[in-house]
């Protein structure tokens, strides 16, 4: 069996790490696997880059000027199809294909004409809308019947609103495939079942975390930052802090929690975010050292995730795996990352309820063992195996 995965990256970022992890495990199970990618560089020996960095920038500009996001990159898509034809995969697995890296119509038509069994992991909702990968925060449901007058259009097109045309083009392109949709959460699966992809089978395979990295990791974090044992560490982690990730909620927590009892720590900030934070917040710029991050999770007494849009919420799981309970909003797949033994889910956008949950965290009796038990359901290697099991079932059923 031969499997081709297509993504923006390989081995970098969340989707790139998923692609490489699946490919490595597939190879261990005797499957000839390749990852076709467009951005950055990969050290994985069976990864094939089919676009230049310069071409990515050009296609991104074309998309913003012409408004036809997802239907540019003709030359790159021809190169990709030529690579696929040479490889002759039995299964093609689509991941993040909205990094200006494919012409969606051309690629999906090739898959239809070839009769190749196809998987699509809905890492976000882009394939089901005219433009946007997320719509929860603005409360838009036009994607259910047909996008138009896109309220987020300016993020994707400088002038033209082609959301109605793009919606119809995507709907037509995705029709007639031999397709299985993979959802990283039950919430995502519910969105797929309401979209024009509802004709296809949907399988939930949660994103996973590396439990060999994210585990209780003692450190001198408190001593480094002068945090006394009498203070509880309230931790927030984001890879890009902004309104979607709840930056304003973290600021509110820092202002309203008793500074004698609580120390707010934020990981993933930058100079611009730091300038907005109240005095007393410990701000740590993004770290690529996952063991350092695990030590920070471990040092915390409670992890807060005020995200307003989330397919799943891996930071929740990383915290639990390090033994620290979670407080999160009722949004997207984030509530699926906890149960009553390890976390608290509060109403969407209710900053006061989030503060109250933080202040009452000791009343719940959460333990390191229960946090880690729940996180164990999301073992990365087990999730990769679920993907490979799905490949084998599809291949055997052909």
Both tokens assigned to 114: 């070839």
**Pair (101, 139) in one structural domain:** yes
Tens-digit pLDDT profile for residues 74-117? 999 999 999 999 999 999 999 999 999 999 999 999 999 999 99
pLDDT tens-digit series, residues 145-178: 999 999 999 999 999 999 999 999 999 999 999 9
Question: CA-to-CA distance for 126 and 130, rounded, in angstroms?
Answer: 7
Rounded Cα distance between 359 and 309, Å, is 24
Q: Looking at the domain assignment, is residue 297 inside a domain?
A: yes
Same domain, 358 and 228: yes
Q: Is residue 289 part of a domain?
A: yes
Cα first-last separation, the chain: 12
Entry pTM: 0.95
Q: How much is the pLDDT for 366? A: 98
Q: List CB contacts of 45: < 8 A, sequence separation 6 or more.
A: none
Domain total for the chain? 2
Same structural domain for residues 204 and 268? no
165 shares a domain with 301: no
In this structure, the number of other CB atoms found within 10 A of the CB of residue 21 comes to: 18
* Beta carbons of 229 and 331 less than 8 angstroms apart: no
Residue 41 domain-assigned? yes
Contact at 8 Å (CB) between 94 and 120? yes
Assign 181 a pLDDT band (cuts: 50, 70, 90): very high
| 198 lies in the same domain as 307 | no
pLDDT at residue 355 in the model: 98
Name the DSSP class of 278.
P
In a domain, 215, yes or no: no
Secondary structure E strands in 300-390: 302-305, 326-329, 343-346
d(CA 7, CA 39): 9
Same domain, 291 and 314: yes
Say whether pLDDT at 398 is over 70.
no
Give the pair of three-digit tokens for residue 336.
């699926």
Backbone angles phi, psi at 30, to 5 degrees: 85, 15
**113: how many CB neighbours lie within 10 A of its CB?**
8
Q: Which domain holds residue 16?
A: 2-208+380-396
Here the CATH number for the domain that contains residue 131 is 3.40.50.2000
Same domain, 164 and 251: no
Residue 146 three-state SS: coil
Half-sphere exposure of 378 (CA within 13 A, CB side): 26
Query: For position 397, what pLDDT does the model report?
Result: 79
Residue whose entry in the numeric block shows the structure tokens 């309401």 = 194
| Same domain assignment for residues 175 and 238 | no
Contact 141, 135 (CB under 8 A): yes
- Taking only the tens place, the pLDDT of each residue in 186-195 is 999 999 999 9
Question: 240 and 196 in one domain?
Answer: no
pLDDT exceeds 80 at position 288: no
Residue 56 domain flag: yes
Please indicate, yes or no, whether residues 143 and 275 belong to a single structural domain of this protein.
no
Q: Is residue 216 part of a domain?
A: no
Task: Specify if 159 maps to a domain.
Answer: yes
Q: Does 238 share its domain with 322?
A: yes
The strand pair at 117-121 and 91-94 is best described as parallel
- 24: closest CA among 41, 38, 11? 11
Taking a C-beta distance cutoff of 8 angstroms, is the pair 390, 203 a contact? yes
Which is nearest to 368 in space by CA: 155, 150, 169, 217?
A: 217
Per-chain mean pLDDT for the chain: 97
The pLDDT tens digits of the residues spanning 291-310 come to 999 999 999 999 999 999 99
Mean pLDDT across the stretch 51-67?
95
Give me the mean pLDDT over the 249-262 stretch: 97
The CA distance from 311 to 304, in Å, is 17
Which residues are bridge partners to 282 per DSSP?
265
Is position 213 within any domain? no
Condensed to tens digits (0 to 9), the pLDDT of residues 337-371 reads 999 999 999 999 999 999 999 999 999 999 999 99
pLDDT band at 51; cut points 50, 70, 90: very high
Please name the helix (run of DSSP H) or strand (run of DSSP E) that holds residue 394, with its range, or none. helix 380-396
Which pLDDT band, with edges at 50, 70 and 90, does 272 fall under?
A: very high
Question: Using an 8 Å Cβ cutoff, are 326 and 357 in contact?
Answer: no
- Same domain as 29, residue 156: yes
């Amino acid at each position: 069996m031969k499997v081709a995965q297509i993504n923006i990256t390989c081995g970098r970022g969340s989707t790139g790490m998923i692609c490489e992890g699946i490919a490595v495990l597939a190879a261990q199970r005797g499957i000839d696997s390749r990852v076709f990618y467009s951005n950055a560089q990969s050290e994985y020996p069976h990864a094939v880059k089919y676009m230049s960095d310069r071409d990515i920038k050009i296609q991104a500009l074309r998309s913003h000027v012409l408004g036809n996001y997802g239907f540019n990159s003709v030359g790159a898509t021809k190169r990709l199809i030529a690579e696929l034809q040479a490889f002759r995969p039995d299964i093609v697995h689509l991941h993040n294909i909205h990094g200006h890296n494919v012409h969606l119509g051309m690629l999906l038509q090739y898959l239809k004409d070839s009769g190749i069994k196809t998987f699509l992991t809905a890492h976000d909702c882009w394939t089901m809308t005219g433009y946007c990968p997320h719509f929860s925060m603005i409360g838009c449901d036009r994607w259910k019947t047909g996008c138009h007058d896109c309220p987020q259009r300016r993020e994707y097109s400088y002038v033209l609103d082609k959301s109605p045309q793009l919606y119809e083009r995507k709907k037509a392109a995705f029709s007639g495939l031999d397709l299985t949709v993979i959802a990283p959460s039950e919430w995502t699966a519910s969105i797929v079942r309401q979209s024009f992809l509802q004709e296809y089978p949907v399988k939930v395979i949660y994103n996973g975390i590396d439990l060999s990295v994210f585990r209780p990791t003692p450190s001198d974090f408190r001593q480094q930052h002068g945090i006394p044992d009498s203070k509880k560490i309230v931790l927030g982690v984001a890879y890009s802090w902004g309104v979607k990730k709840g930056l304003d909620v973290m600021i509110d927590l820092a202002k309203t929690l008793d500074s004698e009892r609580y120390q707010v720590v934020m990981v993933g900030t930058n100079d611009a975010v730091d300038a907005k934070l109240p005095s007393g917040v410990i701000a740590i710029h993004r770290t690529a050292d996952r063991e350092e991050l695990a030590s920070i999770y471990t040092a915390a007494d409670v992890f807060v995730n005020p995200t307003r849009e989330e397919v799943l919420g891996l930071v929740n799981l990383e915290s639990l795996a390090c033994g620290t309970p979670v407080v999160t909003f009722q949004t997207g797949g984030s509530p699926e990352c906890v149960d009553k033994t390890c976390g608290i889910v509060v109403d969407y956008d209710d900053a006061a309820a989030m503060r109250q949950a933080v202040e009452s965290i000791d009343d719940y009796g959460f333990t390191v063992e229960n946090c880690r038990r729940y996180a164990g359901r999301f073992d990365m290697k087990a999730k990769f195996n679920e993907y490979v099991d799905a490949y084998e079932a599809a291949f055997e059923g052909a």
